[in-house]
Amino acid sequence: MSRELSAEKEALQLELPEEPYEPETDAIEAQRIAGWMKSKDWPSLYAVTDLHLLGAAFSNFVHGHFDEEMVRGALEHPAPGAFDAMVIHGLRPHYSIEAELLVKVLSTYGERLLPPLMQSFHTQLAFFPEYEPFYAGKLKHEHATITRILVQAPLPVFADLFLAFFNLRESFSEVHLHHYKRLLDVVGKVQSSALVEPIIDLLRFEQHILGGDAAFVKKIFKAIGQLGTKADAALLASRFDVSAENRPDVAEAYEATLKKLEKKRS
């Protein structure tokens, strides 16, 4: 654009001068609180009771580098609701090494994690950036962190979180498949019969996988064999047509699962 035209547009106020960026006060305060987490200044941190600020600060904190003592110290904040606020907003670590550390630490909190993880699961599933509704219903970074926690600590108390993943019915993708495979590997330890039917329902997703996925199907059968009862054999048979199966290993895994279920009590 010529200098003359640019000057004319500015004179006509067709282009307003850009205002200098000024970070919001809350963002500045959250960054300051995150600094206390990193410096392990617990008295200053524990004096903060605003849950919104604590959540924002922990989100800022996990985006950088940290060690186990920092994470545990922050999560031990004594204010009611502080733990939940920080977990809900702190499931998006930036660096891979720190992500592993965060999962390791969070996994030790057991039942206490269930409410914030469940809230984050549904909030992030519904979330989409402005003008990008395509992202609604899609799995986000937070769901990957939750999956890693469940794999690390597949406890019976987390049955509802496994159920939340397995009950997803829309927008099946490669990301879903990746999470399902990891969860199926450990779901037997959850010991919840309520998971059997949703796991059987996962069989229908194979038709959406180009070329199929025998490993996925066999993981489903294995999980059903671990969690199911004799009564589940008929349900499995109604959802899987073994006569149409041309993969010997899959058919064999199916038959082995049926036999295992038949030996169990109803």
105-119 burial, b if ≥16 CB within 10 A, otherwise e?
Answer: bbbebeeebbebbbe
Rounded CA separation 251/257 (Å): 10
Rounded Cα distance between 149 and 113, Å, is 10
| pTM (2 d.p.) | 0.89
Q: 50: closest CA among 18, 89, 79, 22?
A: 79
**Three-class SS of residue 83?**
helix
Which secondary-structure segment (H or E) carries 11? Answer: helix 3-11
Predicted confidence pLDDT, tens digits, the chain (266 residues): 566 666 665 566 555 566 666 667 889 999 999 999 999 999 999 999 999 999 999 999 999 999 999 999 999 999 999 999 999 999 999 999 999 999 999 999 999 999 999 999 999 999 887 778 877 789 999 999 999 999 999 999 999 999 999 999 888 999 999 999 999 999 999 999 999 999 999 999 999 999 999 999 999 999 999 999 999 999 999 999 999 999 999 999 999 999 999 998 76
Q: Enter the tokens of residue 205.
A: 């997703």
- Asked whether the beta carbons of 225 and 190 are under 8 A apart, the reply is no
Report the C-alpha dihedral over residues 221, 141, 66, 157, rounded to 10 degrees.
-40
CA dihedral 120, 123, 129, 135 (to 10 degrees): 100
